[in-house]
Structure 1
């Protein structure tokens, strides 16, 4: 097969199966070997965690660029367009490059299938191979690689990174890498490699020993939030470790932890940035769809929180803001069918005005996918555009409007707002 258009590549990717029968790395290692192991031709930083891994990856990418490094970034999901998943120095992969790299993969797949006709890649595997091949071709100095799900069995786990990062451990994707928190911690600890340092964020006390044992076994230096470095929210966001104390523009504390983890991981590389350059790199970073403030009065915040831990963090942030503003919290919510819907909805306070909606996407939950008690308690509007406009119109100066539950909804609303702003000008 030969591709001519980027959209053809994307459509093909989404037509592939999602999982192999067995969750191992045989397939991806086979094709990478045939391509000359591009993942070994670049230095990498490997980032996993239930929450915060995307933000941490963006902050790390900006720090590396500030230090003059040609920097690749592989993240998911995307907010605006698929090409966001694979970036070079903050620029999305071009359609032309996407097509070119995909065609190289296709020619190798054709060779493999001569001996093994049944050989095929799943969607995420193909995306990972696209990223590594592109980064190697572009001669990146470093690439920041965000894990898809878990760690040990994730398709990105074919690298020996300069630094590994585990941001948080919480409940999400339990059906794939669970069911318990201990199972999830074990799976995430699979990215720790021999003699390579690991940076840990907020890890629950009950599973911390699992990760520490893995680090000990691999002789990996551990740097942990709260003991080796710290982040405090005062007037500004303060980062502290044994060597430096740096002040950043204020952000939600949970976002501050991601910043702290990124700064600590960066400090383990043999690269130098002054305190003011570090500040600039962090302060200039925008993470699409994560605590993204659209406007201030009323405060409209877009965040793709889609699991218990992320939603609790977002609501803590909103309720903290509400104490100062003395207004009402409204929430426009859309979730995927396969998420912990029940548990997430138990986090809302009685005073929170929650509205359900959906988008045109096969995994998006519709009204009948919610429990009867959720359907009875909260209004459902199938048209997200109308629902968002109504809530925005209803919100007074002191109110807070959260758009959350999925990056897909956040992306749709961001695109709509951008189009509206352009048409006004």
Structure 2
């Protein structure tokens, strides 16, 4: 779907909490009431996978779940889902039109307080979820927590999945500062679950949480040893939980970090649905995760050869993705398909990516670094790597990869969101011209 109602800059004019609250009132949205049934997920990496798992768990527990995430891979409807399915064009366009009209009215009284796109889409999603009678909301934060519009929900239950050095000009220069910014997503009296990767920040989080009267918990401390076997055909995860016992999952969600995300999703779901007996959860979890999906997050698209893509665009996210990709392709021939946005830490990501591959095909992502310039950066970081081709776009990169690999091989598309989306679209027969990357 190409959006027609909202045409806004990426960011609004300064901190937007007041204008978002004002607009919610004009739309008749009771943010306090909505927040009581919302779970907000923040963090640098892993938010999308955690939200997908949590949506599946709550859906299998019998709830109608509205899920708001960002960004989308190649179709805007992916951001607004009900029980895991993207909403249809008509419903989304109607909600967006309602928000666009409210913004236009607001401009008449507040001409110097311009809205950003995330603020508007967040409210459009809430409006749609209300119209569709969603009983539970799973809401992914945008950037951080302190000034993020999703903070207005004052959700009593939230999670910080991970922290990485991202948006440092806004969130802070260290992981600790970023973690504390994300902690502000929770209101006094709220409950925040934190992922395994935040152990180093635990003392700081606990100190500030006590001052804010926020309860923080580390769900991984109630899980025993985790075993994980990840293959192209599927991912087997076994967890031991103090109250639920043995949990065995077979899922199409790949990567070692998925076990950590699963722990958070299970903990959030069991708190939200404390009426479900512990003995029921292992079966419910297994059923829910068998069908869970998260496009573009270590996603394997079968073919001859197959395509493995990931949207990671920070050094830590890229390292996690390339480590998982190396494990998944350890027994088959693989070629890296590489494209990157010009505004990312390109050299930092290349240092993590390139040691895992001997061969690479380079293309240009949407608004990305030109492929010849990216090729030069690749040669500077790893001169010995074989650059098989330098292409204009994802279509030609896939064609070049198919010429170079046997049918049982795997093309590994890494480098960022726009590149992964273009590769996926091309691989599944969609025109790159039809993508909505705005």
Q: So what's the TM-score if we normalise by structure 1?
A: 0.87
For the pair 1:354 / 2:360, whether they are aligned, the reply is yes
Distance 1:183 1:354 in 2: 37
For the pair 1:312 / 2:341, whether they are aligned, the reply is no
Distance 1:262 1:355 in 2: 36
For the pair 1:260 / 2:263, whether they are aligned, the reply is yes
TM superposition shift of 1:37: 3.1
Distance 1:350 1:96 in 2: 45
For the pair 1:142 / 2:136, whether they are aligned, the reply is yes
Aligned to 1:40: 32
Task: Identify the match of residue 342 of structure 2 among 337, 340, 360.
Answer: 337
Distance 2:259 2:222 in 1: 16
Over the residues paired in the alignment, what is the CA RMSD in angstroms? 2.5
When structure 1 is superposed on structure 2, of 87-96 and 160-169 the one drifting more is: 87-96
- Could you say what secondary structure the match of 2:297 adopts? coil
Distance 1:400 1:29 in 2: 48
Aligned to 1:238: 238
For the pair 1:247 / 2:248, whether they are aligned, the reply is yes
Aligned to 1:228: 222
Distance 2:357 2:85 in 1: 42
TM superposition shift of 1:350: 6.7
TM superposition shift of 1:280: 0.5
Distance 1:230 1:200 in 2: 17
Pairs aligned (count): 408
CA contact (8 A) 1:39 1:133 kept: no
Aligned to 1:366: 370
Aligned to 1:169: 163
Residue 390 and residue 113 in structure 1: after superposition, are their counterparts in 2 closer, same or farther (change >3 A)? closer
When structure 1 is superposed on structure 2, of 336-345 and 235-244 the one drifting more is: 235-244
CA contact (8 A) 1:18 1:124 kept: yes
TM superposition shift of 1:385: 1.1
Q: So what's the TM-score if we normalise by structure 2?
A: 0.85
Aligned to 1:423: none
- Could you say what secondary structure the match of 1:217 adopts? helix
Distance 1:365 1:84 in 2: 26
Aligned to 1:67: 61
Task: Identify the match of residue 7 of structure 1 among 3, 9, 24.
Answer: 3
Q: Deviations 1:84-103 (Å, cap 9, x if unpaired)?
A: 11112222222222222223
Residue 381 and residue 105 in structure 1: after superposition, are their counterparts in 2 closer, same or farther (change >3 A)? same
Task: Identify the match of residue 404 of structure 2 among 380, 394, 411.
Answer: 394
When structure 1 is superposed on structure 2, of 292-301 and 308-317 the one drifting more is: 292-301
CA contact (8 A) 1:27 1:121 kept: yes
Residue 274 and residue 177 in structure 1: after superposition, are their counterparts in 2 closer, same or farther (change >3 A)? closer
- Could you say what secondary structure the match of 2:355 adopts? coil
CA contact (8 A) 1:62 1:285 kept: yes
What stretches of structure 1 of length at least 5 have no aligned partner?
421-425
CA contact (8 A) 1:259 1:282 kept: no
Aligned to 2:436: none
Distance 1:367 1:175 in 2: 28
Aligned to 1:17: 9
TM superposition shift of 1:122: 0.9
Distance 2:325 2:84 in 1: 30
TM superposition shift of 1:370: 4.3
Distance 2:64 2:425 in 1: 29
CA contact (8 A) 1:38 1:133 kept: no
TM superposition shift of 1:167: 0.8
Distance 1:321 1:139 in 2: 41
Distance 1:145 1:369 in 2: 38
CA contact (8 A) 2:13 2:113 kept: no
Task: Give the ranges of 4+ consecutive aligned residues of structure 1 lying more than 6 Å apart after TM superposition.
Answer: none
For the pair 1:418 / 2:423, whether they are aligned, the reply is no
For the pair 1:275 / 2:270, whether they are aligned, the reply is no
What stretches of structure 2 of length at least 5 have no aligned partner?
230-235, 431-438
TM superposition shift of 1:296: 7.6
Residue 28 and residue 375 in structure 1: after superposition, are their counterparts in 2 closer, same or farther (change >3 A)? farther
TM superposition shift of 1:129: 1.1
Task: Identify the match of residue 382 of structure 1 among 359, 382, 392.
Answer: 392
